[in-house]
A = this chain, B = another copy of it.
Amino acid sequence: MATKVGIIGATGYNGLELIKILLRHGDARLAYLATRSTQRPLISSVHPSLLGLCNDRAEHIDLDKIAERSDVVFLGVPHTAAMEYVPGLLERNVKVIDLSADYRLKNAKTYQKWYNHEHTDEGNLARAVYGLPEIFADEIREADLVANPGCYPTAVILGAYPLIAEGLVEAAFIADAKSGVTGAGKKLTAATHFPEANESVLPYKVGAHQHSPEMVDVLSQTTGKEVKVEFVPHLVPMDRGIEATMYFTPAGGSDAQDVAATFQKHYAEEPFVRLRGSSFARTRDVSFTNFCDIAWTATDAHVIVSTSIDNLIKGAAGQAVENMNIMFGHERTEGLL
């Protein structure tokens, strides 16, 4: 039976990608498309690419109605907004996949520090499962609240986790990431105005991006080591894509073949990780897909790993649907190939 899907935040970029994926999904159907706006625009007037594909008007947020019609609700709203809805949805026995940052950090104080906002639903933090299927598939299967990973953390954790977990590299590393402009969302800002973002590279939030604690938390918790990440993101003039180049210090005499064997061990069966060895690839090779591509080399001083994802797919909506597939027993790749 088709999973009935509600989306809160259907008018944002994540909303658009969720709708596009779910329209192609064989085992799910869109049941409730809600917006935080006071208006109720046609979905296809907000997202002109959906003309003829989605004829609905956006609905207001009414948790009773959403719960009645949906088996699962995706939250595509800004952080701090998601936790307004999560408790009510869980109480109504609807599963929730939250694409915001609100349930990614286990510690409410850390959340408050990085997001400048008190966490108002601390009680559900422990209940939330971090939705990175390559590591947490078993927990996701049982979850009723999934905290969908951030785009940068997805790229960084998938490249770092196996190497740190297996002790091939030291637990402190550098991640230099480059992101397309959709990563900054639909909100108009000076930095994302076309004439400002085009023809330019911009390092930002250097050593101070709110995704750093997410990487540290998840990697430390899963590897049992005290992980430290020096993370610097850069805005580059393209729509989509994240590339993260990571610099690790080898522990012991690990070389490129050890790295290869470790990635093989962890990811050989993973449907959305592609191992490229020393063939470093372009972000465009993962654009509009749910893949995370990984390439690596070993130099005299470092193990260098590059990961690429589409920030809106594997970094957001695609991974969210992947999580839904796991939670509802659908084929893991349904709607995503």
Contacts and interface: CB of A to CB of B under 8 A. Distances in A.
A178 interface: yes
Given A232-B304, A293-B51, A198 B194 contact: yes
A195 B13 contact: yes
Contact of A304 (B48, B206, B243, B286): B206
Contact of A241 (B199, B288, B304): B199
Given A280-B204, A306-B206, A287 B192 contact: no
A200 B230 contact: no
Given A206-B306, A232-B304, A245 B176 contact: yes
Looking at chain A, what size class is its interface with the partner chain? 35 or more
Contact of A237 (B182, B194, B276): B194
A280 B203 contact: yes
Contacts of A201: 178, 236, 238, 241, 243, 282-283, 308
A185 B297 CA distance: 26
A72 interface: no
B237 A238 contact: yes
Contact of A193 (B53, B193, B228, B234): B193
A189 interface: yes
A44 B269 CA distance: 19
A237 B282 CA distance: 11
A284 B243 CA distance: 21
Interface string A115-137: 00000000000000000000000
A274 interface: yes
A331 to B, nearest CB: 14
Given A48-B282, A192-B195, A228-B301, 17 more contacts: A23-B337, A48-B279, A51-B285, A52-B291, A174-B174, A178-B178, A181-B195, A182-B195, A198-B239, A199-B287, A203-B280, A204-B280, A206-B306, A230-B301, A237-B238, A247-B247, A288-B288
5 contacts: A49-B289, A192-B195, A202-B280, A207-B297, A232-B245
Q: Which 6 A-B pairs have the closest CB atoms?
A: A200-B284, A207-B299, A176-B176, A188-B188, A181-B194, A200-B282
